């Protein structure tokens, strides 16, 4: 894996205070940081979306 692929990108995310509290509680239940919880949830959603689509030519599953 190339070095660039290992680096994480930084983004600014604006969410409501109530969503922040829900994520914070969920992260605590799963023993993760809020950032780690958001990254986990996004990763799972992307995996789920990829499973629902047929693979494009040259794309790894």
Residue 10 placed within a domain:
no
Q: Taking Cα atoms as reference points, which of 23, 43, 42 lies closest to residue 32?
A: 23
Helix extents (H) in 1-61: 3-6, 17-29, 34-52
By residue range, what is the domain housing residue 46?
Answer: 17-50
Please give the tally of structural domains in the chain: 1
15 CB burial (10 A radius; 0-12, 13-18, 19+) = exposed
Contact (CB, 8 A) for 39 and 27: no
Query: Mean pLDDT per segment of 10 residues, for the chain of length 61 residues?
Result: 76 96 97 96 94 68 49
Given this model, what pLDDT does residue 19 score?
Answer: 97
Residue 12 placed within a domain:
no
Residue 58 placed within a domain:
no
Given this model, what pLDDT does residue 18 score?
Answer: 98
Given this model, what pLDDT does residue 56 score?
Answer: 62
Given this model, what pLDDT does residue 11 score?
Answer: 92
Given this model, what pLDDT does residue 1 score?
Answer: 52
């Amino acid at each position: 894996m190339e070095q660039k692929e290992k680096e994480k990108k930084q983004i600014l995310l604006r969410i409501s205070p109530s969503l922040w509290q829900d994520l914070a509680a969920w992260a605590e239940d799963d023993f993760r940081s809020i950032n780690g919880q958001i990254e986990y949830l996004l990763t799972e959603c992307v995996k789920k979306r990829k499973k629902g689509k047929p693979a494009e030519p040259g794309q790894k599953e």
